[in-house]
Amino acid sequence: MLSIIDVRGQPASLSELLPKPGTPGGEVAESVAAIIGEVRTGGDAAVRRLTAEFDGVTRESLRISPDEISQAVARTPQALLQALTTAAERIRAYHAHEGGLASVFDDGLARVAHLDVPVDRAGCYAPGGRARYPSSVLMCAIPAQVAGVAEIVLCVPPNSQGSVDDVTLAAASIVGIDEVYAIGGAQAIAAMALGTESLRRVDVVVGPGNAFVAEAKRQLSGEVGVASAFAGPSEIVVIADSTTPPEFAAIDLLVQAEHGPDGMAWLITWDPGVAEAVEQAVTQMVADSPRRDDLLATMEKSGICVLVDGPRQAMEVSNIVAPEHLEILVEDYSELVGLVKAAGAVFCGLNAPASLGDYAVGPNHILPTNRSARFSSALRADDFRRHIHVVEVTSDGFATLGPLVEEIATAEGLTAHAESIRIRR
């Protein structure tokens, strides 16, 4: 089930030995482009037609009414409401701490402060289909609220009855979102980015999704802000050694694999015995799982075990893969953490499975995928802010810096730039 790639004794450059990340095929790109085009020209009517085609339901109103949300909250078990509320409080506390106060640069000549200006309107996407994701509602909305965003929109694929499930709407209620639309897939991203008759366009779109959702974000980037590097199908790399219980590594591989067939689950180890034990545990767990089909689809396509020379080469492989989730599932993990260069989030030791980070530790679970962790990071409050620097210059500062500017501007042939200094003397 896990394809073995043995890079022991190989050269330092490992990129050519490892599978390259998948990119959307022409069919996906063309389909998403067609959907975006339909929403661009057809608005609500196009969204309704696409919703009927892809989700099999037709709603008179795309927006979920406040009454539907209230009824959903009432139907949601109290224990589950409390769990979501507690998770929301922890996520809010984390992101509020992360925001902090803007630093000020002041060297006596110039003082540069920062205006942290939130976007006016943010669009959140919570996936549906194979599972429901109230946790993603919390993870999308709370950083936006901490950033100061005034209006937050939520799009969720409708279920077979044409509504959105109770627990997702309950999560929306907990964080105060009442503008909820039963729209899923690429058409949801297009509707939020472009606007329709009933859904006013947003400034930033966030949230995880499948390959179609990620491709829609890619194509619409520039018309709307896209945070967290097109978060797409789930990924994990687990680094294990002889101290790792095989069943821990196996279940943590399957945690991400159960999201669907486009994900990635890699085991990296320098112990062939560990590879064999984890393979056996994975096989047994898949056979016993109620989500067997989803797990098989992911593991047969993207379940991989990489055998390496040792811990340092394990980290080299991981940094090339740049996974969404990295678990260093060994007892002595501190040295390996220091070698991390690219990962969405790192989970250390036997007591920190990625599933904890998915729900209630505090940091965001919306993470960069498809190797975009090389240049991007987890969703955070900062993704909903624009940073504008505000410059003040003292008299001494102008006297010191002005001539420098005049020199450079003159060299560039920008005479007005230079004159703007001379005229102030």
DSSP conformation letters of 235-292: EEEEEE-TTS-HHHHHHHHHHHHTT-TT-EEEEEES-HHHHHHHHHHHHHHHHH-TTH
State the Cα–Cα distance between residues 228 and 143, nearest whole angstrom.
Answer: 12
Non-local (6+) Cβ contacts of 123 within 8 A are: 152, 153, 154, 155, 192, 193, 202, 204, 205, 206, 224
Measured CA to CA, the distance from residue 110 to residue 107 in angstroms comes to 6
CA dihedral sign of residues 324, 329, 334, 338? negative
Among 179, 215, 279, 325, the one annotated catalytic: 325
3 state SS of 205? strand
6 burial via Cβ count (<10 Å: 0-12, 13-18, 19+):
middle
Is-catalytic flag, 325? yes
Cα 310 to Cα 7, 314, 315, 335: the distances in Å are 10, 6, 9, 13
- Distance, in Å, from the CA atom of 263 to the CA atom of 248, rounded to the nearest integer, reads 19
Distance, CA of 254 to CA of 325 (rounded, Å): 12
CA-closest candidate to residue 228, choices 364, 94, 118? 364
In 3D space, the residue among 25, 342, 1, 397 whose CA is nearest the CA of residue 211 turns out to be: 25
Options 179, 279, 324, 327, the catalytic residue: 324
Q: Which two tokens stand for residue 316?
A: 């080299």
Is position 365 annotated as part of the catalytic site?
no
Q: What is the DSSP letter of 101?
A: P
Query: Which of the residues are catalytic?
Result: 324-325
